[in-house]
Structure 1
């Protein structure tokens, strides 16, 4: 069984719970048009929207025992984004399920952080949170996230559209058995 507010470490990252001081760096990440290009309808976030989302993220840990981890680079102490688990209610056709996702500041792209952190989150998902299956969802043109999903051992499930804004997405999945067969 999982602790209510776990933390995890990788070689280069501290996956931790959220702090009040994380709001401004996270709002900066969410305001970057390049970061948000494939998220939702593609529009950059506002500080207010980020604050509301962060409150929701914190509540999810208490409600479900899993959620999004703040991803902090150990060497610098910098919040570089988040990696974690959420319920993708925005895509009803695949429910019930849990999604693994990530969002990193642009200067952290291409360094292997998403894959490194997501592997640790998958271990948490299957070995501590007791999940049987995890999906990951990304815009069909987000080739970087597709590569991460493939590196994690996820396989193609379907292509569909998000009802709220019509953006095309692909869904990939990994079962607990599939995860354990990778090691």
Structure 2
């Protein structure tokens, strides 16, 4: 994996020293709202049935986002291979960094890298229908709605009955960062 840089962020391959920052994200009820209903995640307990990524600093395909200006931790971003030609994007940001365009900036950099250097032809993403902020990020970077499917979450979350939204973007339709 390579280091990526945007206007505001540096994305480094994650490392074990990032573990505490990753765990702090999982302890914030608002950050986890659409994943666990806001319930904290026990950092010491493995969750083999988890339906979401819980990086600990040694995962391939996960980048740690830090501000260029002061090296402050912002969150993590991933471009997880689903197949040789398709990858799924994901991210989690500190609440203090929401609403500043950092999610779309970081994901756009990963998508650009994935198409230019990662060999991917398609990038996909999913979110809950009621997660309007994540839906805006996906649409802002050019992913288009593919389908909405019924949700099947182990922890009922308000709005989960509305389903899960699937988005996709192909290399041919990418306009770059």
**What are the within-5 Å matches in structure 2 for residues 40-79 of structure 1?**
42-49=38-45, 53-55=54-56, 58-59=58-59, 61=60, 67-79=61-73
Contact 1:137 1:170 in 2 (8 A): yes
TM superposition shift of 1:41: 5.7
TM superposition shift of 1:98: 2.1
**Structure 1: gaps of 5 or more residues:** 62-66, 89-95
Contact 1:157 1:172 in 2 (8 A): yes
**Structure 2: gaps of 5 or more residues:** 49-53
Q: TM-score, normalised by structure 2?
A: 0.82
- The Cα RMSD (Å) is 2.6
CA deviations on 1:83-112 (whole Å, 9 max, x unpaired) are 121256xxxxxxx94211111000000000
Q: Which has the higher helix share?
A: 1
Q: TM-score, normalised by structure 1?
A: 0.79
Q: 1:30 to 1:6 in 2, by over 3 A?
A: same
Which residue of structure 2 aligns with residue 92 of structure 1?
none
Which residue of structure 2 aligns with residue 172 of structure 1?
167
**What are the within-5 Å matches in structure 2 for residues 8-157 of structure 1?**
8-39=4-35, 42-49=38-45, 53-55=54-56, 58-59=58-59, 61=60, 67-87=61-81, 97-157=86-146
Divergent runs of 4+, >6 A: none
Q: How many pairs were matched up?
A: 165
Which residue of structure 1 aligns with residue 51 of structure 2?
none
